[in-house]
Amino acid sequence: MMVKGQDTYLKGRGNMSFLAEYKWYILITAEVLFWVFSISFLILRYWFQLNRASLIFLVLFIANDLFILSLAVLDYMRTGEFSNYQLIIAAILIYALTYGKKDFKKLDAYLKEKVEQWKNPFRYTGQNTHKPKTAHKGSKAPTGGNLDWEHARKERKNWFKHLFIYAIAHGIYFLINLLKLEIISFETLSNISSIWTIILVVDGLYSLSFTISPRKKK
């Protein structure tokens, strides 16, 4: 009995050591899977109209968030104190429960509209057969019939704000590294930068997609 107990204990220690060594890679992988599950859910729902099958990815989407939460809990159990790793996970989950819901609804509406356009092109292209009027000088956005160029401009503006904040934060990051200030560990800053870069790229692809393919005016 003692041998079995010791074996279980050693396996548990081994799993915790694995988590400690690869925890940042596991977190980044979980974030990538978050977007894969989200987009897969929407594609199955709108493109293939497989509502029941799409629920599988919805369940995986929720399970992935619970898995991310468990990473923070296990890290706290291992160290016995709060860390930057746990704070980042908390920030990710807070975003998912607040702004993440709004962004997901936007993505849901965008894909639904795009799929309808791709499946029924004549329904959208045949509505305005007249030649659009030429834009006046000084106009901020081209006139495109029923296309919402103003929304595309706002999405670009919001992403450029995000990019500006990202650039300032990384300027401070490189300054801290250059001056070798021991405010926060280099490893922590590097991991925060990696996760933020992924978020920035995804946000950019989403925001700039409205410039490439504007949505219809409501």
Lowest mean pLDDT among 108-112, 123-127, 171-175: 123-127
Q: Quickly tell me which residue has 């930057």 as its tokens.
A: 84
Chain position carrying tokens 């920035």: 200
Whether the CB-CB separation of 30 and 68 falls below 8 Å is answered with: yes
Q: How far is CA 88 from the centre of its chain?
A: 14
**57 CB neighbour count, 10 Å cutoff:** 20
| Mean pLDDT, rounded, for 19-38 | 85
**pLDDT score of 130:** 45
202 vs 143, higher pLDDT: 202
pLDDT digits (tens, 9 = 90+) for 75-120: 888 887 777 788 888 888 877 777 677 777 777 777 777 777 777 7
Angle, alpha carbons 142-144-148 (nearest 5°): 90
Q: What is the DSSP letter of 181?
A: -
Domain ranges in the chain are 1-100, 142-218
Q: Report the chain's mean pLDDT, rounded to a whole number.
A: 76
Higher pLDDT residue, 84 or 65? 65
Judged against a pLDDT cut of 70, whether residue 218 lies above it is answered with no
Are 84 and 188 in contact by the 8 Å Cβ rule? The answer is yes
Q: Can you tell me the distance from the alpha carbon of 159 to that of 205, in angstroms, rounded to the nearest whole number? A: 10
Q: Does residue 128 carry a pLDDT above 70?
A: no
> Please, are residues 44 and 54 in contact by the beta-carbon 8 Å criterion?
yes
Distance separating the N- and C-terminal Cα atoms of the chain: 70
Residue pair 61/41 in contact by the 8 Å Cβ criterion: yes
pLDDT (tens digit per residue) in 145-166: 677 788 888 888 888 988 998 8
Task: State how far the Cα of 130 lies from the Cα of 148, in Å rounded to an integer.
Answer: 18
**Residue 141 pLDDT more than 80?**
no
Sorting pLDDT into bands at 50, 70 and 90, what band is 9?
A: very low
Look-up of token digits 């099958």: 53
Would you call 170 exposed, middle or buried from its count of C-beta atoms within 10 A (0-12, 13-18, 19+)? middle
pLDDT of residue 144: 53
129 — pLDDT class (breaks 50, 70, 90): very low
Q: Is the pLDDT of residue 135 over 50?
A: no
